[in-house]
A = this chain, B = another copy of it.
Amino acid sequence: MDENKWGTAITKVEPNHLLLRGYPISELIGRISFSQAIFLALMGKLPNEGGAKMLDAILVSSIDHGVTPPSCLAARTIASSGGPLNSALAGGVLAISKHHGGAIEDSMRLFKRAVERKKDTKKTPVETAAIIISEYRENKMRLPGYGHRFHTKDPRSHRLFAIASELKIADAYVEMAKVIEYQIDKIIGKKLPLNVDGAIAALLCDMNIPVSLANAVFIMARVPGLVAHVFEEQTMMKPMRHINSKEHIYSGVPERKLGDGEFDWD
């Protein structure tokens, strides 16, 4: 009888009883964080404490990057035409593609290849990195995850790696990412610092997240940022305005520091 049925391993839905990856949802509510639930939904098991903190850090690092990314422009453009919030978000998600967010996936493939090569050839990370860099140069290909059109020293990459060290998440892939950064400078004589895409890529590899979920991690992280932009567009801007990302200024609160006082609820 069941041979005509198709299986799903994510959620079991029965009247008054819901299981997410086996756990009653009513037990999860209030006991695990949203990012733990994300990990559970995607990976089929709960992360340990370090893994949960690392995922939180990754998601926080990518939540927004202002008004210039194409996802923000597509979302604001659709909002400006009068479309509902979910249409604007869908448009934003459609712009998270090869050239925007996609470097995480490319970079994961690079690190997977490099670490595998290291194992196969029994060479050191430094030797492996040198070979990989040469191959990319010969094929005139850019090394994905290195360099940024805007940030010369991405404030997010270092912080993410520092946390990964503390949490003991950093392993072979983070090591390889660092060695490649160092070797680029040494071999090519050019600073091409690991950017946030590259840092996240190395961390996702060390966390055993599949390469084909790289884009999803970025999308989940960025959707809240897009919500903030769409809401701002809908509530503060005239419909059908000319949107030129270069003509914007930051009009928000001045720089501030995390402190107990800021957590006040009203």
Q: Give the B-binding residues of A (Cβ under 8 A).
A: 2, 4-13, 15-35, 37-38, 41-42, 44-51, 53, 55-57, 59-61, 63-68, 70-71, 73-74, 77-78, 80-91, 93-100, 102, 149-156, 158-160, 162-163, 208, 210, 212-213, 215-216, 219-221, 223-225, 227-232, 234-237, 239-258, 262-266
List residues of chain B with CB within 8 A of the CB of A18: 65-66, 155-156
Beta-carbon contact of A30 and B163 below 8 Å: yes
Beta-carbon contact of A95 and B81 below 8 Å: yes
Beta-carbon contact of A65 and B13 below 8 Å: yes
List residues of chain B with CB within 8 A of the CB of A5: 247-249
Knowing A60-B34, A67-B8 touch, does A231 contact B213 (C-beta < 8 A)?
yes
| Most chain B beta-carbon neighbours within 10 Å: one of A41, A59, A229 | A41
Beta-carbon contact of A151 and B89 below 8 Å: no
Beta-carbon contact of B60 and A80 below 8 Å: no
Knowing A16-B151, A20-B63, A83-B94 touch, does A50 contact B265 (C-beta < 8 A)?
yes
Beta-carbon contact of B225 and A48 below 8 Å: no
Q: Closest B-chain residue to A80, C-beta based?
A: B70
Once the chains are docked, how many angstroms separate the CA of A216 from the CA of B235? 15
Give how many copies assemble into the complex: 4
List residues of chain B with CB within 8 A of the CB of A150: 13, 15
5 more CB-based (< 8 A) A-B contacts, given A41-B225, A83-B98? A16-B155, A30-B159, A31-B258, A86-B87, A210-B231
- A226, chain B: closest CB distance, angstroms: 9
Beta-carbon contact of B85 and A27 below 8 Å: no
Which one of B57, B212, B220 contacts A224 once the chains associate, using CB atoms below 8 Å?
Answer: B220
Beta-carbon contact of B227 and A42 below 8 Å: yes
Which one of B29, B60, B64, B158 contacts A10 once the chains associate, using CB atoms below 8 Å?
Answer: B64
Beta-carbon contact of B231 and A216 below 8 Å: yes
A-B contact pairs, 27 of them (CB 8 A): A7-B236, A7-B250, A11-B67, A12-B66, A13-B66, A13-B250, A16-B152, A18-B156, A25-B155, A25-B156, A26-B155, A27-B257, A30-B57, A30-B60, A30-B159, A32-B60, A34-B59, A41-B63, A41-B64, A51-B265, A70-B78, A73-B243, A84-B84, A86-B97, A93-B93, A208-B266, A220-B223
